[in-house]
Chain A
Amino acid sequence: MKNIQNTGLILFLFALGVFLSLPFTGEFKLTKTEFDSFLYNRNINNELLVSSFEKEIIGQEFRSSFAMSSKIVNALNRTNAEHKRKQQWDKVIWSKPHSFAYDIIKASQGNLAEKTDILWWLTFGLGILGSLIYILPNAVLLGPPGIKNNGIWHHKATNRGWIGWSVFVFLTVFYVLLYFFPDYIVNWVYLVDPISNFINGNDASQWFLYGFLYCVVMTVMAIRMYIKYRNNNYQILRTTSVLFFQIVFAFLIPEILVRFERPWYDFKNAFPLDYDFFFSWNLEQLLAGGGFGIFILVWGIVLTLIIVPIMVYFFGKRWYCSWVCGCGGLAETLGDPYRHLSNKSIGAWKIERWVVHGVLVFALVMTGATLYSYFSGASSVLGINTQGIQDTYGFLIGSVFAGVIGTGFYPIFGNRVWCRFGCPLAAYLGIVQRFKSRFRITTNGGQCISCGNCSTYCEQGIDVRAYAQKGENIVRASCVGCGICSAVCPRGVLKLENGPEKGRINPTEILLGNDVDLMKLLNKN
């Protein structure tokens, strides 16, 4: 069994090796026709750019996307600088240089684009196969159903050891490339061109690659969840639910919408997590999209203002954060091995409240400014450029926080860094959950032995034990209702429940079991 696992691991690492080597290989050559059609599609008319491309790029062979990208970025920057010097503002190309380079390189069809079949199997195919060969034997190796946390704090992958740090570097670099240097990962995007063509009729973008990879990773790691928590129906159903919403709602439906020339839209992605919903380009696209566009617009508003709070009232924010949400979905599958790494200190809780509510305020202010600009036509609010606010939010929160830190830091700070410290929707849901909800984690009378498994495995860094050992129910804004505290409790103390608001928060002077006459006690003191 162990040997089978090791074989799987080797296959996976081999596939990962191939995947990692791809950006450094391949040949790229841009033809004049390709370039012309690119300029035509982009409606770019710029002699300076054309001449510098003809001199240095067109017809040249590049040994990697890095080499080609540096020439393109260089050419673009030089051209732009020249136009700016001459104050020919209409000639300046305002695209982000690396996105610009990505589009050209992607259009140039490097030689790996012809070998996507074999390369897909060597990377994705072998990677999935290897992971499954590694994961499936655990159904036997881990023994009978039960809690499977043996050795978690001993293993280098899960105790912030060198494997954890390596995963951290890999994930962080991946997100930096994805968000800021897509031109370097063109070869990865080629891999999913055939799938993209099959689903939406177009070649893949880096976001299609990301969406596909997301689904693959979640599926594989969901299988791991099924094996690890096969004693626990709550975990099994929850995992199935997030997987379903990711694959169908976040991936398939939006891509199929594109095929039918509808706007790309994820129906479960609620504002303000979906922070650009009210951006003018989106509003314009929706309003131009006829009845369907209007439907999306109305749905988006109803989702945030009515459905979300009502559902939180009845079920707690878990219905979204750990049953529906894509970020939560990745955290609960890929991130499950890292859930114990969250910080439980009171200090971290303080920081959490400031930061997460700060992001919510930021998102609301940004949206306010956006709508003001949209309706008034003014480009700035109180002297602050609306576009500037949007760009800052998109960079700091949308990319760096949600992506690079949110996922990249899994192996160091745990799997819910984004959900706990950054997600504006989670902050909103949390406020509803804390003050107007039927959800609580019930503490089972006086049965707690203060062992601390619940706190250790709380991905949100809630010190669950601090409540349980006092016989108090746990009612916290940040609880996403993953149910793991209840699962790992060795004494059956915790249960996630929806119930009447009365008695939901139950401060206790003396724990159940000690037969002190409380009324007498209160009267005396």
Chain B
Amino acid sequence: MQKSAPKKAIVIIGNGISGVTAARHIRKNSHAQITIISEEHPYFFSRTALMYVYMGHMKFEHTQPYEKHFWKKNNINLIQTRVESIVTKTKTLNLSHGEKLVYDSLIIATGSKPNKFGWKGQDAKGVMGLYHKKDLEALEQYAPNNQMCKRAVIVGGGLIGIELAEMLHSRHIPITFLVREDSFWNKVLPEGESELINREILEKGIDLRLNTNLKEILTDENGQVRRVKIQETEEEIPCNLVGLTAGVSPNIAFLKGSGIQTNKGVLVNRFLETNIPDVYAIGDCAEQKVPIGERRSIEAVWYTGRMMGETVAQTLCGNRIEYKPGFWFNSAKFFDIEYQTYGWVWALPKRNESRFYWEHFSRKKCLHFSFDKKSNVFLGVNTLGIRLRHEFFNAVLEQEKTIDYVLEHFEEAVFDPEFYPTYQKEIVAQFNREQKTTISIKKKHWINFFSKATPSS
């Protein structure tokens, strides 16, 4: 690939997955001068892995995908400081301590901050989100073990909430988990999956309170968390730590007065451009003016952040392209249960959708297919406890294959390690029973041993 000649100064605010992906791909395609600014930590680390540091699976250094010499070798300049404000007219960043930095192109990739809803006591000692590196440090301070922290209360039943629960559980700290909805994460997960996760949470000995809201956080004379009060019952729960994990929102307060258009996030068009020339926004902090397909306008997801980084890098290297996230996919882990999704499986089926739900007798694995009522075209799948092959489902969605095709070829769709039990037979049998169909599994000839790893496409 040809490297573009003029050395323009590209400044990226934020060294999360979006910003760093952008920097890497810009470097692949150009000699531009690249600077990444982060207040949090000088080096890129995987935010999603912070939990494993607390749990003792890894050390913090393991969360950093690139060694220190990587940045030097690739001539990517890292600055640890805070951006106070942006003057777009002069293309200048005002940094803390009065320093200034001039850019030719600016990428805003400042990510999110945990939501707080004005609860009384929400800024007390021992109240924290789970997002930043400093949250990890706070956790070590307030909840190093179950002697110091006799009970923790987690507020908010989403992905971060359940991760925090898993973390504290690993140190045998009793947990009360307040969830506003009547089942875990059921705005996203359909009933079966959500129920399955409820059971997993309860099985871990966690005091799961559904339909429960936080009223206020009570502190002691030192301003430290003492107990929380429940809105519905006025019940007070003694605790030493409160985790606020009721979602995140774009971290863009510093843009006030810059002239860069914002709503909840930084407003961008399909090219990830803001209203100001040469200023782009990517990742959690970007908000699409017009949502793409069925997607939300703000997507605080690792993968979309990475894709936006890949896309904006192309644009900045002279190949202006639209942000076109392909078919939706996502993954998570709820304690011991892995979750993957490909395509769309809405919490409540839409009118054109047919659904097929299979649950393993252990009640710890399930599959949930969505397909078109009339055409049988596959629309999406949720899986808990069974790994599925991204490439397979991407091809299925792209080629608009039917649910019959997916079930016939299900063995190729599974990504579980070798020698794991397979469930294809019982899944297809149940489907045939429920849908009055006669789908039969495509038998694999022994010779196919020689071409096992190919996904059909």
Q: Is B232 an interface residue (CB 8 A)?
A: no
Interface range on chain A (Cβ under 8 Å from partner): 35 or more
Interface 9-mer from A43-51, A270-278, A505-513:
A505-513
In-complex Cβ contact of A145 among B57, B67, B336, B450 (8 A): B336
Q: Is B300 an interface residue (CB 8 A)?
A: no
Residues of chain B with a CB closer than 8 A to A521's CB: 314, 319, 321
Q: Does the CB pair B56–A151 fall under 8 Å? A: yes
User: Which residues B16-50 have CB closer than 8 A to chain A?
Assistant: 17, 29, 46, 48-49
User: Which residues B269-326 have CB closer than 8 A to chain A?
Assistant: 302-303, 306-307, 310-311, 314, 319, 321, 324-326
**Majority DSSP secondary structure for residues of A touching B:** loop
A445 in contact with B391 given A144-B336, A525-B29 (CB within 8 Å): yes
A147 in contact with B415 given A492-B331, A499-B451, A500-B453 (CB within 8 Å): no
Q: Is B440 an interface residue (CB 8 A)?
A: no
Q: Is A407 an interface residue (CB 8 A)?
A: no
B117 CB, nearest partner CB in chain A, Å: 28
Interface 9-mer from A6-14, A219-227, A231-239, A328-336:
A231-239
Give the residue among A453, A469, A516 with the most B Cβ atoms within 10 A: A516
Q: How far is the CA of A521 from the CA of B28 in the complex (A)?
A: 14
B80 CB, nearest partner CB in chain A, Å: 20
Q: Is B62 an interface residue (CB 8 A)?
A: yes
A497 to B, closest residue via Cβ: B453
Q: Does the CB pair A513–B329 fall under 8 Å? A: yes
Q: Enumerate 20 A-B pairs (CB-CB under 8 Å) in ascending A order.
A: A146-B335, A150-B55, A153-B56, A233-B417, A345-B67, A346-B69, A440-B453, A451-B48, A452-B58, A490-B338, A491-B338, A492-B331, A492-B415, A495-B418, A499-B451, A500-B453, A513-B326, A513-B329, A514-B311, A514-B325
Residues of chain B with a CB closer than 8 A to A291's CB: none
Q: Does the CB pair A452–B390 fall under 8 Å? A: no
Residues of chain A with a CB closer than 8 A to B326's CB: 512-515
Q: Does the CB pair A491–B333 fall under 8 Å? A: yes
Q: Is A187 an interface residue (CB 8 A)?
A: no
> Which residues of B pack against A, CB within 8 Å?
1-2, 17, 29, 46, 48-49, 52-53, 55-59, 62-65, 67, 69, 170, 203-204, 302-303, 306-307, 310-311, 314, 319, 321, 324-327, 329, 331-333, 335-336, 338, 340, 387-391, 394, 415-421, 450-454
Q: Does the CB pair A452–B331 fall under 8 Å? A: no
A147 in contact with B390 given A453-B57, A466-B65, A496-B418 (CB within 8 Å): no
Q: How far is the CA of A497 from the CA of B59 in the complex (A)?
A: 29
Q: Does the CB pair B391–A525 fall under 8 Å? A: no
Q: Does the CB pair B319–A451 fall under 8 Å? A: no
Residues of chain A with a CB closer than 8 A to B329's CB: 445-447, 513
Q: Is A383 an interface residue (CB 8 A)?
A: no
Residues of chain B with a CB closer than 8 A to A379's CB: none
A236 CB, nearest partner CB in chain B, Å: 8
Q: Is A85 an interface residue (CB 8 A)?
A: no
User: Which residues A435-477 have CB closer than 8 A to chain B?
Assistant: 438, 440, 442, 444-447, 449-453, 455-456, 465-466, 469
A233 to B, closest residue via Cβ: B419
Give the residue among A440, A451, A521 with the most B Cβ atoms within 10 A: A451
Q: Does the CB pair B417–A483 fall under 8 Å? A: yes
Q: Is A486 an interface residue (CB 8 A)?
A: yes
Q: How far is the CA of A456 from the CA of B65 in the complex (A)?
A: 11
> Contact string, A18-41, partner B, CB cutoff 8 A, digits 1/0?
000000000000000000000000
